[in-house]
A and B are shown apart, each in its own frame.
Chain A
Amino acid sequence: MNDLEKEIALYLDGEMTPEQLLIFEEKINNDTQLQQDIATHKEMNSTYDEANWNTVGPTTKNQKISAYEAFLKSEEGKTIATSIKNAERAYFKTKPRSKVKKLLLYSASIAAVFVIVFFVISQLNTHDPQNLYAEYKNWNDLPSLTSRDSNTELAEAEKLFRQQKYKASLAIFTQYHQAVGPKDMNPQILTYMGVTQLELDQHETAIKTFETLLHSNTLDAPKANWYLALTYLKMNDPEKAKEILNNIIGDPGNDHYQNAKELIDELK
């Protein structure tokens, strides 16, 4: 097993401590093979993820791109583009005409089918755990660290978080969290850490962070259940999410009691 592979994974997942990151970035600067390996790993991550796509920058230079572009801009390319447009027009023109009688006869039933299909699709979409996650996550509700703490580093981390620069903000939160002992643990920092990890798709790490919050002896501990439920939704595990939401519903004093009730109904 190559330790370098592990380091690359930690680096790409944003899971390095600030110290590890400094050392590793120095290593990258001095090692062209490592630079290439990181580039290939990044491409692998986006190419093989079916919900993603590996895009290249708009100014990327490569012989093939230039050749394709030259063809598309040429007279020949323009002629093909026109033929495709003409064919498209012809296809849409002839398609309804040939079926006009059928369409008239069955228009009512077709309309009904469409209504049903769209209803089903919209129901499916709304009840999709990941859609529900997007609907229910509301990071604007997180307490502001600027007013509660004079620590400018934390204020900066919050600013980065609000700008969705999650990797950079996580580095600061993690550093801060590690610097204070478990006794002085700040539940709000833990919440930000967990949410940031969640946004970075570091699901397993986020669960650990929220579980630490849950088992902490702080007033914010019960809130961890809500974040854990959201994490499982994002991970497409509605059963586990429901299990946790039921814990919240059992505690009407929980800040997220109402949200949990609504969400569990949507998941039924």
Chain B
Amino acid sequence: MTNKKYDDFLLHSLITGNEVGIVEIYKKVYPKVLNYVLKHDGSEDDAKDVMQKALLQLSARAQVKEFHITSSFEGYLFTTCKNVWRREVKISKSRVTNNEVIDLVHEEREIALAAFEQEKWELFQEKLLEVSENCQKILTYFFNKTPYRKIAKALGYATENTVRQRIFKCKAKLKEAIQSDSRYHELKEL
């Protein structure tokens, strides 16, 4: 089976609930997910939970709208799993910091929200690729909280102020690219 055909078989298995195919997916992706979650302060149970949630999320998205994966199925699912774990960590942190009793959201709704957020994340990644390569680099540093002086050093800018000015311009361009995409408006929260 070619890679493309194999990927189609895996995605189709998830859409139709073919257990043999889904076991194949586990064989391919689960060890990586486990490794990632363990490295990022999670447990084996967390890894199992992440995998299930990502598969359900993907299945729901593929059922609702025709779904095309441009990279490999394995890579795509793994990215989704990483994002599911980032989401879990963020939610559990905000529960701890707010010291509030937060109503537990029903599992189906939680997965639906995660699927929506993942879709938005994918759109934002696509939009980032539309700004210049230089903007992509400087913004990636900036959004990941790299100090200005380090950005200046890494990208060869003379002063921190030049870096700041460049970031303003790049952020404005990126914002424009995002806002002018009709899919962004479909993904608006009401």
Contact A53 B86 (CB under 8 A): yes
What's the nearest-Cβ distance from chain A to residue B93, in Å?
Answer: 10
**Number of residues of chain A lying within 8 A (CB) of chain B:** 60
Contact of B19 among A1, A36, A76, A90 (CB under 8 A): A90
Chain A residue at minimal CB-CB distance from B59: A80
Contact B97 A164 (CB under 8 A): yes
Contact B48 A88 (CB under 8 A): yes
Contact A41 B171 (CB under 8 A): yes
Chain A residue at minimal CB-CB distance from B128: A48
What's the nearest-Cβ distance from chain B to residue A214, in Å?
Answer: 18
CA distance in complex: A61, B168 (Å)? 32
Binary B-proximity of A82-104 (CB < 8 A = 1, otherwise 0): 11111110110010000000000
Contact B120 A47 (CB under 8 A): yes
Contact A72 B111 (CB under 8 A): yes
Contact B103 A44 (CB under 8 A): no
Contact A87 B112 (CB under 8 A): no
Contact partners of A40 in chain B: CB under 8 A = 175, 178-179
What's the nearest-Cβ distance from chain A to residue B77, in Å?
Answer: 12
The DSSP consensus for interface residues of chain B is helix
Contact A53 B90 (CB under 8 A): yes
Contact of A68 among B39, B89, B116, B188 (CB under 8 A): B116
Given contacts A56-B116, A73-B108, A80-B17, contact A48 B124 (CB under 8 A): yes
Contact partners of B128 in chain A: CB under 8 A = 48
B162 in the interface (beta carbon within 8 A) = no
B18 in the interface (beta carbon within 8 A) = yes
User: B64, B86, B116, B119 — which one has the most chain A CB atoms within 10 A of its CB?
Assistant: B116
Contact A60 B113 (CB under 8 A): yes
Contact B112 A68 (CB under 8 A): yes
B11 in the interface (beta carbon within 8 A) = no
What's the nearest-Cβ distance from chain A to residue B152, in Å?
Answer: 12
CA distance in complex: A164, B113 (Å)? 27
Binary B-proximity of A196-234 (CB < 8 A = 1, otherwise 0): 000001011000000000000000000000000000000
Contact A88 B168 (CB under 8 A): no
Binary A-proximity of B52-90 (CB < 8 A = 1, otherwise 0): 100111011101100000000000000000010011011
CA distance in complex: A240, B1 (Å)? 54
Binary B-proximity of A25-69 (CB < 8 A = 1, otherwise 0): 000000000001100110111011111111111101111111111
**Number of residues of chain B lying within 8 A (CB) of chain A:** 69
B5 in the interface (beta carbon within 8 A) = no
Contact B86 A64 (CB under 8 A): no
What's the nearest-Cβ distance from chain B to residue A202, in Å?
Answer: 10
Stretch at the interface among A2-10, A16-24, A135-143, A185-193: A2-10
A235 in the interface (beta carbon within 8 A) = yes
Contact partners of A37 in chain B: CB under 8 A = 175, 179
Contact A44 B190 (CB under 8 A): no
A115 in the interface (beta carbon within 8 A) = no
CA distance in complex: A40, B172 (Å)? 10
Contact partners of B89 in chain A: CB under 8 A = 53
B186 in the interface (beta carbon within 8 A) = yes
Contact A44 B171 (CB under 8 A): yes
What's the nearest-Cβ distance from chain B to residue A97, in Å?
Answer: 13
Contact partners of B187 in chain A: CB under 8 A = 62, 64
B26 in the interface (beta carbon within 8 A) = yes
User: A48, A56, A87 — which one has the most chain B CB atoms within 10 A of its CB?
Assistant: A87
Contact A50 B105 (CB under 8 A): no
Contact partners of B86 in chain A: CB under 8 A = 50-53
Given contacts A73-B108, A91-B26, contact A65 B116 (CB under 8 A): yes
5 residue pairs A–B, Cβ–Cβ below 8 Å? A50-B86, A62-B116, A72-B60, A72-B112, A203-B147
- With A52-B90, A55-B87 already in contact, 6 other A-B pairs whose C-beta atoms are closer than 8 Å: A2-B172, A43-B120, A43-B124, A56-B113, A60-B189, A84-B56
Residues of A within 8 A of B (CB): 1-2, 5-6, 9, 36-37, 40-41, 43-45, 47-58, 60-69, 71-73, 76-77, 79-88, 90-91, 94, 121, 125, 164, 201, 203-204, 235, 237
The 5 A-B pairs of least Cβ separation, nearest first, read A87-B22, A83-B17, A48-B143, A68-B112, A69-B112
